[in-house]
Chain A
Amino acid sequence: MDLTANHFNEAAVIALDDIHLQIALDRGTGTADGRRRGVMGELPHAPALRQQGRAARLRALHDLPELLEQMERNVIAAGGHVLWATDAAEANRHIVEICQKHNLKRGVKSKSMATEEINLHEALHKAGIEMIETDLGEYIVQIDESAPSHIVMPVMHMTKEQIRTLFMEKLAMPYIEEASGMTAFIREHLRQEYLNADFGMSGGNFMIAETGTVVIVTNEGNGRLSTSIPPVHIAVVGIEKIIPTWEDFATLIQLLPRSGTGQRMTVYVNGFTGPARLGEPDGPEAFYLVLLDNGRSNIYATEYAESLACIRCGACLNACPVYQNVGGHSYGWVYPGPIGAIVTPLLKGIENAAPLPFASSLCGACKTACPVDIDIPTMLLKLRRDLQAVQDPIWQVSMAAYSFGFSHPLLYEAGGKAASIASRVATAAMGGDPNEGVPTGDLKLPYPLSGWTQNRDFPPFAESSFHDWWRQNRAPKDKS
């Protein structure tokens, strides 16, 4: 997906005027957020569970390199292959090479944000490999040649009428009134794809290091079909998705659907520990795990490490008053909403996503909704600070001077004296009493300080500094 995050403001204005989008967003975010509140609210110990989930994620991040090595060992021990990818190009290269090695021409794919992130479709298309999205929403996006607008509900932005028109145009579907009939049409349409596919692709919601298990969740069953029937399964998973233990998994796998779609469980929670074992009647004969970095290790040791704790449930999108109005496409990349406003600048460069840290009212609804209590508002503020440093050279120079002055006591004192003298001279020049300042409106400082003095007094700096006063009155006089 192309990066257009710098056009957030323009895209948002267009989105706000799109009545179909506004109806779709109200319904989508309203329903999802309401359901989340319902199933989280029914648990009196929900706050403790959030902290339990959060602790699991933070422990995992602390031990990230060791857990990745443990995951690799266990996948290999189970007969699978592990490939590491520093960036999108390397991940795509790995996948194309696997396809060439096994002569794979047709794939079926379960929904995955990581494969959106690396633009896998384009890479496979160039290599002459066909791949079909099987999640209903992602399939709609694919035939529409557009992009998903939500992490868990890809076509939240579309109305039933728009989807029906698309099916009729692209798939020669007869007019079908009901969504159930349209869905049944797609079920039939995709049926043979599962049976004929050479390989299945998936992402991964979690990697459980202690057994080397990759877990995906789907409601439709497309993930289970895509990974059960084809002879090869390739999973692409971001390195941060790892957790150490099954107990941590048991907590997180229930927080994810409760927060994401307001379900108590996702219908299919499907886990893979290597390829099919001897005697098992189905499942892939070859299993590949591609561990994707793609900028995550750059975030790891920074003050933004907490963003790696995200389990991609989408709750912050649904809860965000900005997302609720501008929709996912405005954010201009794969990850929209509050978490996207952090992840996109971090992964793609803050100068390429400058409006995103400001695409928030800092109301904190995202943090409240987050199942692992990620402090999104604080990180947005820090990104605003970073952005200022990147974008505004004058600010940068003056902040450098400020910090130099304030960290050198002699310079600081000299500066204080100079300010005191200068303010007196200026006040006297304006005809005021140097000890009283100038009455409001009399002293007009030059631009850009004129705005300050327009309605305010400008008292001169004190004659003697606090340092001087301290030396005279409080400093120990033990030399006598």
Chain B
Amino acid sequence: MTPSARDTILNKLRASAQRPFPDAPPRPKHYHPVTIQEDESAEALLERFTTELKNLKAEPFVVDDDAAARVQVLALLEEHEARRIIAWDFAHIPVTGLEAAIRAAGIEILYPDAHDDYRAEMLAAAEGAQVGLTGADAAAATTGTLIFTTGAGKGRIPTVLAPVHIAIITQDQILTRIESWVARLRADALGEFRSHANFCFVSGPSRTGDIEMELILGVHGPGRVQVVVKR
């Protein structure tokens, strides 16, 4: 019997008398974080996060409470002339009464389910939406990054399919940096992380520079990313 590809590869890697890089430095106790942020107070992080979003050509909106968040989101939906939006389950969007307010404005809300029996019709309807509306798991201030993981009611499609993505987070979801989120995963030995099929860091709108290095937004993903931060 011929050995499997798996055995062939692993045996070959193990065949040599000495592994490469026996003197590779051991795993450090403390890693240098990549980005620099000295003031980690909530206000400083909000300031850094919104600055980085603007640098990425995303649009931050800071509001004080649920009522202001509803007004802000409705104003944005009006700006985009939204008739239909694709959304996360509103249980994962941290603004009370938002779903009712959007419906009251006559806007259709679709919760796209790609595993539905009527998948093709569902996707065609989702493609017709003007806006994707979601919450987020966390945000990283120093890179202007929104962090998403998947779960029931928290799909991938609303973050990427429509030409506009509106994400709503609370100020306390803003972490300092990517490494801060990783530290949070580590705190429970990556246990919770394993329950999600997907994670995604989104830093600003979809972009390309493939044609003569010219920056163009919205090539496949959303060309506009609007982030509503509730204090």
Complex: A160 Cα to B210 Cα, angstroms: 10
B residues touching A (Cβ–Cβ < 8 Å)? 4-6, 8-10, 12-16, 18-22, 24-28, 31-32, 34-36, 52, 56, 111-115, 120, 123-124, 127, 143-145, 150-157, 159-161, 178-179, 182, 185-186, 190, 193-214, 216, 218-222
Interface residues of A in 240-277 (CB under 8 A from B): 244-251, 253-255, 258, 261, 263-277
Which of B151, B206, B220 lies in contact with A279, CB distance below 8 A? B151
Select A268's contact among B120, B186, B202, beta carbons within 8 Å: B202
Question: B210: which of A61, A154, A275, A300 is its contact (CB, 8 Å)?
Answer: A154
Tell me which of A65, A154, A279 contacts B13 (CB under 8 A). A65
With known contacts A229-B114, A301-B15, A283–B197 Cβ distance under 8 A: yes
Interface pair A264/B221, CB less than 8 Å apart: no
Contact B150 A239 (CB under 8 A): no
Q: Are B24 and A59 in contact (CB under 8 A)?
A: yes
Residues of chain A within 8 A (CB-CB) of B26 are 59
- Say yes or no: is A297 at the interface (Cβ < 8 Å to chain B): yes
Asked if A281 and B153 sit within 8 Å, CB to CB, the answer is yes
Q: Is the CB of A285 within 8 A of B115?
A: yes
A305/B160 contact (C-beta < 8 A), A86-B8, A271-B200 known: no
- Closest beta carbon of chain A to B147's beta carbon, Å: 9
Contact A59–B21 (Cβ < 8 Å): yes
| Residue of chain A at shortest CB distance from B199 | A271
Q: Are B13 and A276 in contact (CB under 8 A)?
A: no
Secondary structure at chain B's binding surface: helix, strand, loop or mixed? loop
Contact pick for A297, options B13, B144, B202, B204, CB 8 Å:
B13
Tell me if B156 and A228 are in contact (CB < 8 A). yes
Is the CB–CB distance between B197 and A272 below 8 Å? yes
Whether a CB of chain B sits under 8 angstroms from the CB of A388 is no
Q: Taking the nearest CB of chain A, how far is it from the CB of B48, in angstroms?
A: 12
| Of the residues A59, A68, A268, contact of B27 by C-beta under 8 Å | A59
Q: Are A219 and B206 in contact (CB under 8 A)?
A: yes
The reply to whether A187 and B218 contact each other, CB–CB distance below 8 Å, is yes
Task: Determine the chain A residues whose CB is within 8 A of the CB of B113 once the complex forms.
Answer: 281-282
**Inter-chain contacts of B161 with A (CB < 8 A):** 225, 229
CB distance from A136 to the nearest CB of B (A): 4
CA–CA, A239 and B12, complex, Å = 13
A282 with B21, Cβ < 8 A, contacts A43-B34, A250-B31, A269-B200 known: no
Whether B22 pairs with A272 at a CB distance below 8 angstroms is no
Bound-state Cα–Cα, A328 to B196, Å: 39
Candidates B5, B56, B123; contact of A229 at CB < 8 Å: B123
Chain A minimum-CB-distance residue to B222 = A221
- Chain B residues whose C-beta falls within 8 Å of the C-beta of A222 in the assembled complex: 219-221
User: CB < 8 Å: which of A27, A263, A305 contacts B20?
Assistant: A305
Among B111, B205, B216, find the residue whose CB has the most chain A CB atoms closer than 10 A.
Answer: B216
B203: chain A residues at CB < 8 Å are 263-267, 269
Q: Closest CB of chain B to A133's CB: distance in Å?
A: 12
Given contacts A191-B127, A221-B219, contact A272 B198 (CB under 8 A): yes
Assembled-state Cα–Cα distance A387/B213 (Å): 38
The answer to whether A3 has its CB under 8 Å from any CB of chain B is no
Q: Are A276 and B14 in contact (CB under 8 A)?
A: no
B204 — nearest CB in chain A belongs to which residue?
A: A267
